[in-house]
Amino acid sequence: MERLTPSEWRKAKSKTIVDCAEALNISPMTWRKWEQQPSLIPIGKAEEFCQFLGIDASVVCFLP
């Protein structure tokens, strides 16, 4: 499976920025910042994001 960025995965799963922020218990502004710089996402939050979308972390590109 192709590796996509968190933003690409969010869109592929038809989730909004607000959906992701609420699922991770963070502000939408924080999620927007993390989508712009995925390497800033803490490991725990990256795991929560993957669980929320039902994907494995190995298919997400968290590099800048």
Digit-coded pLDDT (tens) for 8-55: 999 999 999 999 999 999 999 999 999 999 999 999 999 999 999 999
- Residue 62's contacts (CB-CB under 8 Å, 6 or more residues apart) are 6, 38, 39, 41, 46
pLDDT recorded at residue 53: 98
Burial of 24 (0-12, 13-18, 19+ CB in 10 A): buried
pLDDT recorded at residue 2: 78
Tokens of 4: 């996509």
Q: Is the pLDDT of residue 1 over 80?
A: no
Sign of CA dihedral 22, 10, 31, 41: positive
What are the strands, taking DSSP E only, across the chain?
Answer: none
